[in-house]
Amino acid sequence: MRSLQDAEPAVFWWDDDAAPEPLPCLTGDADAELVIIGGGFAGLWTAVRARERGVDGPIVLLEADRCGSRASGQNGGFCAASLTHGAPNGWARWPTEMPVLERLGEDNLDGIETTVDRYGIDCDFHRPGALDVATEPWQVAELAERSEMPSPTGATSVLLDTEQVQAALASPTYLAGLWEQRTTALVEPARLAWGLRAAALSLGVDVHEGTRALGVGDENGRVTVRTEHGTVRARQAVLATGTAPPLLRRLSLMTVPVWDYVLMTEPLNPAQMASIGWADRQGVGDSANLFHYSRLTRDNRVLWGGYDAVYHYASGRDERFGQRPETFTLLARQFAEAYPQLADVVFTHRWGGAIDTCTRFAAFYGLALSGRLTYAGGFTGLGVGTTRFAADVMLDLLGGVTTERTSLSMVRRRPTPFPPEPARSLGIALTKRSLAKADATGGRRDLWLRTLDRAGLGFDS
Instruction: Report pLDDT digits (tens) over 179-200.
Output: 999 899 999 999 999 999 999 9
Cα 88 vs. chain centroid, distance in angstroms? 18
Where on the phi/psi map is residue 134: left (φ > 0), alpha (ψ -120 to 50), or beta?
A: beta
The answer to whether 77 and 186 are in contact (CB under 8 A) is: yes
Helix (H) or strand (E) holding 276: helix 270-276
Instruction: Report pLDDT digits (tens) over 4-46.
Output: 999 999 999 999 999 999 999 999 999 999 999 999 999 999 9
**Residues in the chain, overall count:** 461
Q: Determine the average pLDDT of the residues in 427-450.
A: 94
pLDDT of residue 459: 55
The answer to whether 343 and 272 are in contact (CB under 8 A) is: no
Instruction: Report pLDDT digits (tens) over 322-378.
Output: 999 999 999 999 999 999 999 999 999 999 999 999 999 999 999 999 999 999 999
Cα 152 vs. chain centroid, distance in angstroms? 24
Please determine, for residue 451, whether its predicted confidence score (pLDDT) is greater than 80. Answer: yes
Instruction: Report pLDDT digits (tens) over 134-143.
Output: 999 999 999 9
Q: Determine the average pLDDT of the residues in 110-132.
A: 98
The answer to whether 363 and 379 are in contact (CB under 8 A) is: yes
Percent above pLDDT 70 for the chain: 99
Q: How many CA atoms lie within 13 A of 287 on its CB side?
A: 26
Of 46, 51, 197, 52, the residue nearest 121 (C-alpha): 197
Please determine, for residue 460, whether its predicted confidence score (pLDDT) is greater than 70. Answer: no
Task: Round to whole Å and give the CA distance between 82 and 379.
Answer: 11
The answer to whether 374 and 353 are in contact (CB under 8 A) is: no
Instruction: Report pLDDT digits (tens) over 129-175.
Output: 999 999 999 999 999 999 998 888 888 899 999 999 999 999 999 99
pLDDT of residue 461: 41
- Residues whose CB is less than 8 angstroms from the CB of residue 223 and which lie 6 or more positions away in sequence, other chains included: 35, 216, 217, 233, 234, 235, 236, 237, 369, 372, 373
Please determine, for residue 278, whether its predicted confidence score (pLDDT) is greater than 90. Answer: yes
